[in-house]
Structure 1
Amino acid sequence: MFILSLTYRKSNEEADRHMEPHMAWVNEGYDSGMFLASGRKVPRTGGVILAKGDRTAIESFVAADPFTIHGVADYEIVELALTRTAEGLDGLKG
């Protein structure tokens, strides 16, 4: 599993200008089965996405995010080898 941590490099107003295409990109991640969960950081300084799959494919997909293309956010990609989950979340280990 991977944690994709986005940190805004530009203002929230600039992020809002690119939000619609970014959300279309997020939806593609869910449709492909790569994304498991996502949301905004509080306070709003970026976001977090939980993802699964091949690291190279994830890095390539992140490079296609409109936030990346337009310099709105930087991504940190952290791989996590889950050893334990709450009941009902065993699928995250795969």
Structure 2
Amino acid sequence: MHPVRIQILEILRSGEACVCHIEATFGLRQAYVSQQLAVLRKAGLTSDRRDGPNIYYQIVRREVLDLLDMARAAVGEDEPWQPLPAG
């Protein structure tokens, strides 16, 4: 899976997040973040809801987090992957 998509799932691990929050966390263009979110939504891993001008995403297939945790354990990582530094 794409590293940015993994990091988006890590952000959503603690609950829903606005696209604007995800965009600010990565320091990436909104269009690029939205493209990655669309892939996750099409795969059935996330869903979204609109609240005025903002779109909020949440994980609907929580078992994907178990897979991420198992992958991290397999490579010897203890902590969830953190967002890439902006810039």
Name the structure where strand makes up a greater proportion of residues: 1
Larger CA Rg, structure 1 vs 2: 1
Name the structure where helix makes up a greater proportion of residues: 2
The answer, yes or no, to whether TM exceeds 0.5 is no
TM range (shorter): 0.3 to 0.5
TM-score by length of 2: 0.40
